[in-house]
Amino acid sequence: MAKLVRKSAKFGTAPVFFTAISTILGAIMFLRFGYAVGNTGFLGTLLIILFAHMVTIPTGLAIAEIATNQRVRGGGEYYIISRSFGINVGAAIGIALFLSQAISVAFYLIAFAEAFDPVLNWLNATYGLHLTDLRIVSLPAMALLALLLLLRGANLGMNALYVVVAVLGVSLISFFMGSPTEAMAGAVFHLTARVDNHDEFFKVFAIVFPAFTGMTAGVGLSGDLKDPKRSIPIGTLAATLSGMVVYVFIAYKLASSATPAELNSIPLIMAKISVWGPIIPIGLAAATISSAIGSILVAPRTLQALASDRVLPSASLTRWLSAGKGETNEPFNATLVTSGIAFVIIALGNVNSVAQIISMFFMVTYGAICLISFLQHFAADPAYRPDFKSRWYISLIGFLLTLYLMFKMEPLFAFLSLVFMTLIYYSITTTRTDKEGLSKIFQGVIFQISRKLQIFLQKAEKDSDNWRPSFICISRDFFKRPAAFDLLAWIAHRSGFGTFIHLIDGYLSKETNRKAHEELNRIIKIAGVSKSNVFIDTMISPSFTSAVAQAIQLPSVSGKDVNAMLFEFSREHDEHLDEIIDNVSLIKAIEYDLCILGSTERGFGVRSSIHIWVTPGDLTNASLMILLGYVIMGHPDWHNADIKITAVFPESEIEDYQQRLKSMIKEGRLPISAHNIELLEQKPEVSVKEIINQRSQDDDLIMIGLRYEKLKQQGKEVFKGYDDIGNILFVNAAKEQKLDNDED
């Protein structure tokens, strides 16, 4: 981008202001503002001015803010947007911006030709000619302007600009000092007076909106300014506000000095009102040629900056367009392209049609700038530190109003414009993956939303009866057996939260830290493919106990308190089971629910059945097992699964427990059929483990209650003896969970 720095940058704030104000007070003011007043009335025109500035002022503030965020070089709006928000975002906006600027050159020269309409009429009347096509003026004017800019560069434009602004000022003074027309002399001024068969409000708005789009014209001179961070905000905002005030007075002068019929039918109605009529065509010529100069100064610099960032598809085209001429690096080749586009538009268009095209391009550009500015306020990126600060709600208003006005002006073109911008962004993103785009901004926004939500949830009153699983899982065996991660992903899919801690044995060092980052990235990549909702992290610890102690003190990323711990071991190789058992007391001390997954090489099978076993003295765990079964079934992997509940009790207690289980399921409104609830009589000669082995051979996940007292007494034996079945989830509830959330 160094090529865009002008070695002899010497302009101050004045060129920014004069470039902008001469573009604002340009073609539309002379040729179509009377039409606007005639079709919408004075109050309607004020509404147009208000709507337009509710778009342009937020955009101007956003541009001023972005311009003070960093050192500004050549490329104008494109440069400051791309360097603040990433080249992908900047290029998508920059291409649309360049096209709008290039088309503007044609628009102003078409309007410039209309200033010669009185001259052509005189020639036709005097010499009997038939010169009616204004392109005989606009096309040569375009050729002359392009030639002068190619030969002399920006200095010519600045020298001519001051003369133009002086003529523009004289013409406005003559207009304001003028008298009402003869038709208006005896009429009464009404705030809402307009022609009978008037055009729709938003059609009028689309035609006159380009009158207000010149406020950023001076930004394109950023590479030629001594102090862009000062000159751009001051010059841009001063021109915007000055233009708004002038347009209000012009609207009043027009409404009070001519009838609606005159305003609608006479393009140069200002000439009939002015003290000296000929000054208006002269002012029109001066304003339009100055606006054309401003646009043809800015558009090539935007294109040159785009080419210098290599966002264009062709490498040879990129080199050609990015090349500059002379010590000031004038965008000679980019000026040729801009001139070519302008020639084509001049040959095809007229003022009204080209004005509506420009309006849509500028609306898309301004809306994108306001949206990005709004998002950046919420992202709170420490690297974004502008000296001048706007407000997030101003940018939001600008974006929403822009979107609304686009679809009111022309819904089809609005839709196509948005598709056009999206396609540009997508194509650039796919070819330049090394550059940051919207993802960086949205990550910042999501981070801020997440932070605020977590703080809110932390402060909110906790409802202990409204239980939902919030699990932490610690495992060192993810790459050997992902069963625990899969289970956590199912729990966290819709109704729960899950944090997976990948344990790395050892002490914290440069080497282990590097390993932790590498393995974290591997797991995140795998988790992304599986589309899990699990938060993943790594932990380096010299012992399993210290890892558990640290993990249970971690805050949940959900903002909700952690309430459950998940461990996993291999039933074929249970070398880690002892350390899990040793830490169960730690989990019980903080009253977490505990789940221990005993996995096998069989895995979770075809995920068609979940079998819950309830044994004597185990009803405390039953409600948690049923809830977990229901939560797991909410994942698409288990959408065809059934939950079966089998309770094994002594014969004397079967009837009582059957009623309690059915009542528990009914009150909890769980999708478990009564036919899937089975109660078995426990016989002394047959152990519960034998019954489970026999009846759960074809089940994909088996849940068995885990009693803490029994675990302390029997240790590893509690988990043994289930050789004929698949994965088992041993569940210990800190307390009995309510399946029905209704208050008693």
Same structural domain, 552 and 644: no
pLDDT, position 557: 57
**68 or 532: which leads in pLDDT:** 532
- Output the pLDDT for position 6: 45
User: Does 678 have pLDDT greater than 60?
Assistant: yes
| 288-297, 417-426, 503-512, 659-668: the lowest-pLDDT one | 659-668
- pTM confidence score: 0.62
Calculate what percentage of the chain has a pLDDT beyond 70: 81
CA-wise closest residue to 238 among 220, 205, 214: 214
Question: DSSP labels for 207-230?
Answer: HHGGGGGGGGGGGGGGGGBS-HHH
Task: Tally the domains of the chain.
Answer: 3
Rounded Cα–Cα distance for residues 485 and 478 (Å): 7
Residue 510 falls inside a structural domain: yes
**Residue 2's pLDDT is what?**
37
Query: What average pLDDT does the structure give for the chain?
Result: 81
- Quote the CA–CA distance of 406 and 417 in Å, as a whole number: 9
User: Regarding predicted confidence, which is higher, 503 or 122?
Assistant: 503
Specify whether 497 is located in the same domain as 549: yes
Q: Which of 599, 625, 653 is the last residue of a domain?
A: 599
The CA-based angle 94-99-100, given to 5 degrees, is 95
- Nearest in space to 636 (alpha carbons), one of 739, 567, 533, 536: 533
Residue 406 and residue 319 share a domain:
yes
Task: Say whether both 113 and 261 belong to one domain.
Answer: yes
- Of 77-81, 172-176, 444-448, which gets the smallest average pLDDT? 444-448
Whether 330 is in a domain gets the answer yes
Does a structural domain hold residue 445? Answer: no
**Does residue 323 lie within any of the structural domains?**
yes
**What is residue 7's predicted lDDT score, i.e. its pLDDT?**
46
Q: Please say if the pLDDT value at position 177 is more than 90.
A: yes
C-alpha to C-alpha distances, 549 to 26, 497, 545, 577, 590, nearest whole angstrom = 72, 20, 6, 17, 11
Write out pLDDT tens, residues 179-213.
998 888 777 778 888 888 889 999 899 888 888 88
Residue 249: predicted pLDDT: 94
603 token code pair: 């895995």
**Would 2 be classed as within a structural domain?**
no
Give the list of residues 6+ apart from residue 329 with CB closer than 8 angstroms, or none.
3, 4, 5, 6, 7, 74, 223
pLDDT (mean) for 508-526: 90
The verdict on 580 and 630 lying in the same domain is: no
Q: 3-state class of 684 per DSSP?
A: coil
Q: Tell me the pLDDT band of 1, cut-offs 50, 70 and 90.
A: very low
Alpha-carbon distance of 504 to 519, in angstroms, equals 9
The neighbour count for residue 388, using CB atoms within 10 Å, is 18
Residue 373 lies in a domain: yes
Mean pLDDT highest for which of 110-119, 127-136, 261-270, 307-316?
A: 261-270
- Answer with the one of 545, 573, 599 that is the final residue of a domain: 599
pLDDT digits (tens, 9 = 90+) for 109-144: 888 888 887 777 777 888 777 777 777 888 888 888
Over residues 671-684, the mean pLDDT reads 72
Residues 540, 479 share a domain: yes
Residue 43: per-residue pLDDT: 94
Q: Identify whether residues 374 and 498 lie together within a single domain.
A: no
The 10s digit of each residue's pLDDT in 235-247 is 888 888 998 999 9
Q: How confident is the model at residue 544 (pLDDT cuts 50, 70, 90)?
A: very high
Residue 50: predicted pLDDT: 93
416 and 512, same domain (yes or no): no
Q: How far is CA 233 from CA 9, 15, 215, 292, in A?
A: 18, 13, 11, 22
**Bridge partner list, 471:** 498, 564
The verdict on 369 and 393 lying in the same domain is yes
| β-sheet bridge partners, residue 705 | 731
Sorting pLDDT into bands at 50, 70 and 90, what band is 457?
low
Assess whether pLDDT exceeds 70 at residue 281. Answer: yes
- Is residue 463 scored above 60 in pLDDT? no
Whole-number Å distance between alpha carbons of 71 and 61: 17
**594 and 621: one domain?**
no
Alpha helix stretches (DSSP H) within 177-314: 182-185, 201-208, 228-257, 260-265, 269-273, 279-308
- Going by C-alpha positions, the residue among 295, 428, 446 that lies closest to residue 362 is 295
Q: Is residue 454 part of a domain?
A: no
Band of residue 447 on the pLDDT scale cut at 50, 70, 90:
low
Task: Check whether 464 has a pLDDT greater than 60.
Answer: no
Rounded alpha-carbon distances, angstroms, from residue 372 to 84, 314, 422, 683 = 10, 28, 14, 71
Q: Which of 384 and 1 is assigned the larger pLDDT?
A: 384
Q: What is the pLDDT of residues 612-631, one digit of tens each?
A: 998 766 777 888 888 888 88
Percentage of the chain exceeding pLDDT 90: 22
- Please, what sign has the CA dihedral across residues 94, 67, 238, 245? positive
Number of C-beta neighbours around residue 393 at 10 A: 11
Which of 136-140, 466-470, 688-692 is the least confident region?
Answer: 466-470
Mean pLDDT, residues 722-737: 87
Question: Is residue 477 located within the same domain as residue 392?
Answer: no
Residue with the bigger pLDDT between 624 and 8: it is 624
Q: Which of 599, 615, 646 is the last residue of a domain?
A: 599
Residues 634, 741, single domain; the answer is: yes
- What token pair was written down for 260? 């609606």
Q: What is the CA radius of gyration of the chain?
A: 37
- Per residue in 89-102, pLDDT tens? 777 778 888 888 88
Q: What is the CATH number of the domain that holds 495?
A: 3.40.50.620
The parent domain of residue 513 ranges over: 465-599
CB 673 within 8 A of CB 644: no
CATH number reported for the structural domain that contains residue 366 in this entry:
1.20.1740.10
Residue 5 maps to a domain: no
Structure confidence at residue 5 as a pLDDT band (50, 70, 90): very low
